[in-house]
Chain A
Amino acid sequence: MSRDDQIRFSNLVLPHLTDCFALARWLTGSATDAEDVVQEACLRAYRAINGYAGGNSRAWILTIVRNTAYTWLRNNRPPELVMVDDLDAAANDSSAHSLGGDGAGAGTPETSLIAKADASRLKDAIAALPAEFRETLVLREVHGLDYREIAAVTGKPVGTVMSRLARARQRLISELGTGKS
């Protein structure tokens, strides 16, 4: 690898390290594992730096982090904890698209319960989401990617991104909008 590659890597990848770490942490659920994943992903990115065709460097490196994280999980976690690819079909349950609550308009108890959720409840609720829903929600709400970027990172059509995002939020609302603490 040449000095040019190193410079390119510094300019393209290193500015996104915080993003990379945050995504890896949400996907693996552990800061220690996230460090391993990011380090591995950076090596992959460095080797592939010549294949980077320009465009959105953040989406590019987050794609590598995501794929590295799932490979890492497959190799290091029991299989039942790893994502199931046909989850979208399986999750087509009645709760997915229901309106929830009584829909009585402004100031429902549900809304005020959501507003009161603290950091640890939020983290737990997101961590409890199925992997596909979680990654989509995190890419949108934490990283602020738009639908097209999320589709690029996750390798899914925009329609799938939309439905996963909707279901992820619906689940968070049902979880946070109930009275238990």
Chain B
Amino acid sequence: MSDARLDNSLPLIHAYLDGELDTAETLAIEQRMVEEPLLAAERERLETLHRVLQEKLPRDTAPPDLRRRIERSIGLQAASSRPSWRALAASVAVVAVVASGTTWAVLQPQRGGDIADAVVSDHVRALMAPQSSDVLSSDRHTVKPWFNGRIPQAPRVVDLSSQDFKLVGGRIDVVERVPVPSLLYQRREHLISVTAVPKKDAASTRTRRTVGGYNIVAWKDDEVSYWATSDLNQKELDEFAAAFRAAP
């Protein structure tokens, strides 16, 4: 590779790791990183830097006093009243309920069965979208960091290529109004969405369902319930679930 092409590829590695490239660009840079050790080394340095920043950089929290002073300065709270963020949170909550009363009441009781509906809807919508995932990569070390900063907890991303389930990418879905990570795997022409829903009361043992012609296998690990959705047959979807759970 010429020096000029090398120089042109360097900024693209940043955009690639930041999840800012489209499909064609992603595939092109992944190919170039395979071919060119200098680019692969750069990618490794950048990934290491990103990981270290995410893991070790202390996160600031605003002093509680600051919030109180701001509220007071705009007259949101009488200076004499006992300052309490709880009171404010309560008033905000009341406003939110009043403002969106009906929607809230309807969405609130969503439980197990409705999670299944939600993950199937998200899966179908993803299939219909021009791009079925927000981050497109077959490399779990790219997919996992992409979730950092977008949602509180990045999902477990496993490599199942040896079992013929290829990682395709990831996206953020919304289940019970909470953004949750979904991973996308592929076997033959079938896509499988695995949605990780943090829930304590989720199905404790493996459950199988069919919603709108899509098979679902759900299971729970470490306080997270996983929902695998696909038009793949039930037997192979079970196989996928078993492989996902068993993967290191």
B110: CB under 8 A from chain A?
A: no
Name the prevailing secondary structure of the A interface residues: helix
> Size of chain A's interface in residues, with CB distance under 8 A?
55
Residues of A within 8 A of B53 (CB): 122, 141-142
Contact of A169 among B7, B14, B57, B88 (CB under 8 A): B14
B149 touches A18 (CB 8 A): no
Chain A 10-28 against B: per-residue CB contact (8 Å), 1 yes, 0 no? Answer: 1100100110111001000
Q: How far is the CB of B150 from chain A (nearest CB, A)?
A: 6
A114 touches B45 (CB 8 A): yes
* Contacts A169-B49, A176-B49; A140 near B74 (Cβ below 8 A): no
Which of A69-77, A80-88, A97-105 faces chain B? A97-105
Residues of A within 8 A of B199 (CB): none
B79: CB under 8 A from chain A?
A: no
Q: Give the distance in Å from the alpha carbon of A7 to the alpha carbon of B88 in the complex.
A: 10
Closest A residue, CB atoms, query B14: A166
A17 touches B62 (CB 8 A): yes
- List the 6 shortest-distance A-B pairs measured between CB atoms, nearest first: A144-B149, A21-B62, A22-B60, A103-B38, A103-B41, A17-B62
Beyond A122-B56, A162-B15, 4 additional pairs, beta carbon < 8 A: A99-B6, A99-B41, A103-B41, A141-B53
B interface with A by C-beta (< 8 Å): 6-7, 10-11, 14-15, 18-20, 37-38, 40-42, 44-46, 48-54, 56-63, 66-67, 69-71, 73-76, 88, 91-92, 95-96, 148-150
